[in-house]
């Protein structure tokens, strides 16, 4: 056990093998409230089950996450190079090798994103990643319980192609019934926000929705109208998983209906953490490109 615990300390839980880093966000007598550092998880623990970590320990524990994130980014940029030529020359079967080797004077309009996140730190990281990936995105810190009442106003103002509703979630301690929404910390808010968004725009290809966080009630989110959601196996998901799902959707042609497995392949967590339904891409190609 760590002594003199303070809000903001980075800790791990020995009872869980110190496998996840948390930031302390609240202290109440003999218990602490925790927020995952790299995973979208809220948790509570007794003070006796948290261990404060040194900067060197934190750096060492985060290396695997950083490595996986870098690998996802590398795969994304490699795939885009391949997709660009294939999409532009779609239907031009007679195009010669010489023609294909020339850079066409076209431009791309990827899907636009509206991201409402219940965690400001994660939102800032996601916004930076959207920028790295050249995805036009609007991101706002909206606490999970406020998302149902605010989502429509944001949709009307920003008219996105893709909506992301996330933050933190988690199963209550000792939960056995995964089909009861009251056993989840935040899933009811995500489900209601999805329903409100889907009432506003019923078409699942006209407004693509990703919703959920760690251990969220996956089936309820899909039934409410989400295209993609977490978490099929009630596992933890990484902070950037929503971004990597969105990237594949934003940069896939409107001609393509995407195979779910191909979309999830972009993520860090994989099929245990993210699932969804077949959905059409958002990317539109324009021609010619203006010189001005």
Domain boundaries, the chain: 10-53, 102-286
* Percent of all residues in the chain with a pLDDT value above 90, rounded to a whole number: 53
Q: Are 274 and 245 in contact (CB under 8 A)?
A: yes
Give the separation between CA 225 and CA 246, rounded to whole angstroms: 16
What is the pLDDT at residue 59? 82
Residue 104, pLDDT > 70, answer no
Mean pLDDT of the chain: 87
What average pLDDT does the segment 238-243 reach?
90
Question: Rounded to whole angstroms, how far apart are CA atoms 256 and 259?
Answer: 9
Determine which of 19-23, 59-63, 146-150, 153-157 has the lowest per-residue pLDDT on average: 59-63
On the question of pLDDT at 108 being above 80, the answer is yes
Q: How confident is the model at residue 28 (pLDDT cuts 50, 70, 90)?
A: confident
Confidence at residue 92, expressed as pLDDT on a 0 to 100 scale: 52
Q: Is the pLDDT of residue 94 over 50?
A: no
pLDDT of residue 36 exceeding 50, the answer is yes
Examine the pLDDT at 211 and tell me if it is beyond 50: yes
- CATH 3.40.50.2300 at 102-286, yes or no: yes
Question: Helix, strand, or coil here: 11?
Answer: strand
Given a cut of 70, is residue 88 above it in pLDDT? no
In this prediction, residue 213 carries a pLDDT of 94
Q: What is the pLDDT, as a whole number, of residue 252?
A: 93
Mean pLDDT of 94-118: 74
Average pLDDT over residues 50-58: 87
Highest mean pLDDT among 41-50, 74-83, 145-154: 145-154
Within 10 Å of residue 255's Cβ, how many Cβ atoms?
13
Q: What is the pLDDT of residue 35?
A: 82
In this prediction, residue 85 has a pLDDT band, given cuts at 50, 70 and 90, of low
Average pLDDT over residues 268-283: 94
| Per-residue pLDDT at 281 | 96
213 touches 230 (CB < 8 A): yes
Better pLDDT: 248 or 173: 248
Long-range CB contacts for residues 177-185, cutoff 8 Å, separation at least 24:
178/217, 178/234, 179/219, 181/217, 181/220, 184/215, 184/216, 184/217, 185/42
> How far does CA 105 lie from the centroid of its chain?
33
Give which of 108, 116, 272 is closest to 186, Cα–Cα: 116
Q: Does residue 42 surpass a pLDDT of 70? A: yes
């Amino acid at each position: 056990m760590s002594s003199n615990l303070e809000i903001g300390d980075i800790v791990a839980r020995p009872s869980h093998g110190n496998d996840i880093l948390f930031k302390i966000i609240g202290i109440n007598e003999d218990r602490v409230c925790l927020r995952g550092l790299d995973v979208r998880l809220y948790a509570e623990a007794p003070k006796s089950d948290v261990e404060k970590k040194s900067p060197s320990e934190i750096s060492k524990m985060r290396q695997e996450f950083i490595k996986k994130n870098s690998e996802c980014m590398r795969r994304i940029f490699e795939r885009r190079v391949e997709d660009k030529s294939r999409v532009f020359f779609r239907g031009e079967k007679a195009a010669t090798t010489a023609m294909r080797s020339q850079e066409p004077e076209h431009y791309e309009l990827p899907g636009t994103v509206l991201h409402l996140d219940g965690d400001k730190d994660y939102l800032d990281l996601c916004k930076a990643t959207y920028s790295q990936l050249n995805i036009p995105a609007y991101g706002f810190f909206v606490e999970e319980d406020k998302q149902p009442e605010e989502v429509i106003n944001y949709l009307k103002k920003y008219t996105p192609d893709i909506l992301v509703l996330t933050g933190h979630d988690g199963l209550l301690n000792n939960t056995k019934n995964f089909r009861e929404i009251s056993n989840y910390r935040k899933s009811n808010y995500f489900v209601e926000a999805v329903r409100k968004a889907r009432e506003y725009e019923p078409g699942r290809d006209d407004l693509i929705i990703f919703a959920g966080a760690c251990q969220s009630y996956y089936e309820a989110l899909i039934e409410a109208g989400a295209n993609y959601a977490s978490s099929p196996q009630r596992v933890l998901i990484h902070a950037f998983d929503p971004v990597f799902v969105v990237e594949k959707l934003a940069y896939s042609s409107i001609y393509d209906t995407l195979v779910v497995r191909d979309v999830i392949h972009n993520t860090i967590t994989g099929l245990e953490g993210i699932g969804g339904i077949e959905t059409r891409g958002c990317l539109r190609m324009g021609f010619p490109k203006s010189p001005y």
